[in-house]
Chain A
Amino acid sequence: MINLQNLTIKKTKEMMKSGEITAVDLVSGYLKNIKAKNKDINAYLESFDDALEAAKKIDEEKNYDKPLSGIPFAIKDNILIKDKICSAGSKMLENYKAAYDATVIKKLRDAGAIFLGRTNMDEFAMGSSTENSAFGPTKNPHDLERVAGGTSGGSAAAVAADMALVALGSDTGGSIRQPAGFCGVVGLKPTYGVVSRSGLIADASSLDQIGSIARNVEDAEIIFNVIKGKDEMDSTSMELSAFSSQPSAKLKIGLLRYDKKGVSEEVEEAMSSAVKVLSELGHEIAEIELPHIEYSLPCYYIIQPAEASANLARFDGVRYGLFKEGENLLGDYMETRSVGFGDETKKRIMLGTFVLSAGYYDAYYGKAQKVRELIRRDFKKVFEKVDVILSPVSPTSAFKIGEKTEDPLQMYLADIFTVSANLVGVPAISVPAGKSKNGLPIGIQFIAPWFREDILFNIGKQYEQCA
């Protein structure tokens, strides 16, 4: 029996090449863990029986030379894998089978990756805790009474609990970084447009981005390098020019000035010790201000519901998934959507419909677009002075299941440090920064200028080696 703890992509590939382990050993090990742990953690909605066959094929062909040969992945349940169910955590798509591979899946497949299963998430990627999944919340592997974070809670918990070596998630307002922080793993949200969204079930199209969840920064980088690139199926996608990512240069780090109210003491402590570690590494640290950042959360909770309400209009019982018969055609739509969507999804669709409705469009949606531009200019200005921004990932460590479900605003505040990167499109990474007194992981976040993922990998690797 192989020890799955502390494995990385590099180490795993070396072990496979030298014959120390086979892809079948690896996949069987993870499947065994999934079987043993998933009933408690609920990270996976389904594990795939054909994962072992894929591993067997790799072993038979002794084909260990591709970038991700034999590497077992957990895939968030809103990324299409051909012929597998893709439910987006919703009753609406409970039995929906994907007709094609998402571009990122195609790229992973070509790189030799193996898919272990599809992971739990907040319905249609709306939430901050995975409690909005139609299939029950994902529990935090560090404390089963607490949330794993969300919306990619299943993917983050799977990696943290050795139920997958690495995972894919999607990030609309922090949905990769926040669960990664809560579960003590690394989560990367790439620059908007650098990874194709073709085959990702849309939440808010101007904010959504697919990214990697891994045990360390290097693995997140390896996955990113496989999935990035222009794709003719996504007109917003583009090629990323190459930068050197050798961790040598001394960087100017901007420490974000923020309202300490609502930020827990343990997060503050983690931030101070991160600052200490980074300055000992020789980086220059200066406080920076993003004057309009206080508007980022209200701005996000207008734009996100607006786009989601438009994107989710397609789920009306005609083309996809669930169908419930009503009295007439309008009744069919209304009944299908009433039964198929959960509470939070209904709320966001209603909110989006409101902010886009005649008479309110300019005051809400139009204004939010302008404020978004102000926030973008803030970032642009700050990045003229610093190479990278440092901030917390979340105001607290993982909260208790049920703690925030009755108060939507409290839940939305969990995203306060993460949404701005999505609003302006810059890349950001969440890196583990120790644990609280009661053993819960805390993450810190680095935010880099557009297309400078290399800076995130550089500083992230330096930090994790010393933290």
Chain B
Amino acid sequence: MVYMQGKVDIDKLALLARINLSEKEKEKLQKEFGSILDYVSELKKAEVGKMSDEEIAMAKGIKNIAREDKESHEAAVGGVHVKVKHILK
């Protein structure tokens, strides 16, 4: 758990976020996190009832879109080597 008794485990969170933080930065974040989390926790008061994910209009119909796979690569195997185009100039 990264949040215990009103305190955020900044070290754990920094590791998850892949950021090295100095002691000074940790101290400042610990303080600011408290007030920001208090503020955004206002949302808990909002009555959303029993809203299912399907009822969220902006989440409806979202799907991954990939380009059509129509231009296939040239054959790249030549003898015992794999040949590819130059990618660096």
Chain A residues near B (Cβ < 8 Å): 206, 235, 292, 294-295, 297-299, 301-302, 309, 313, 316, 330, 333-335, 337-338, 341, 343, 346-347, 349-351, 353-355, 357, 359-360, 363-364, 367-374, 376, 408-409, 412, 425
Which 4 residue pairs across A and B have the least CB separation, nearest first?
A338-B20, A370-B48, A235-B65, A298-B40
From known contacts A337-B18, A369-B59, A374-B46, infer whether A353 and B1 are also in contact, taking CB-CB under 8 Å. Answer: no
Mask: chain B, 40-67; 1 = CB below 8 Å from A; 0 = not: 1111101010010001111100000100
A373 to chain B, nearest CB (A): 5
Work out how many contacts link A and B, with CB atoms closer than 8 A.
115
- Measured between beta carbons, the chain B residues less than 8 angstroms from A347 are 29, 32
Q: List 26 A-B contacts (CB under 8 A).
A: A206-B58, A292-B46, A295-B43, A297-B39, A298-B39, A298-B40, A299-B43, A316-B18, A333-B18, A343-B28, A346-B25, A349-B17, A354-B8, A354-B13, A357-B16, A359-B3, A360-B2, A364-B40, A368-B40, A369-B56, A369-B59, A373-B56, A376-B57, A376-B58, A409-B39, A412-B36
A interface secondary structure, majority: helix
Docked CA distance A371–B48 (Å):
7
| B44 touching A363, Cβ below 8 Å | yes
| A354 touching B2, Cβ below 8 Å | yes
- Measured between beta carbons, the chain B residues less than 8 angstroms from A374 are 46, 48
B34 to chain A, nearest CB (A): 11
Interface residues on B, range: 35 or more
| Most A CB within 10 A of own CB, among B19, B39, B58 | B19
Looking across the interface, which residue of chain B has its beta carbon closest to that of A336? B18
Mask: chain B, 3-24; 1 = CB below 8 Å from A; 0 = not: 1000010100111111111000
- The verdict on B35 contacting chain A, using a C-beta distance below 8 Å, is yes
Docked CA distance A313–B18 (Å):
8
| B48 touching A341, Cβ below 8 Å | no
| B46 touching A341, Cβ below 8 Å | no
| B3 touching A346, Cβ below 8 Å | no
| A350 touching B14, Cβ below 8 Å | yes
Docked CA distance A408–B31 (Å):
11
Docked CA distance A292–B10 (Å):
32
Select one of A299, A360, A425 contacting B3, CB under 8 A. A360
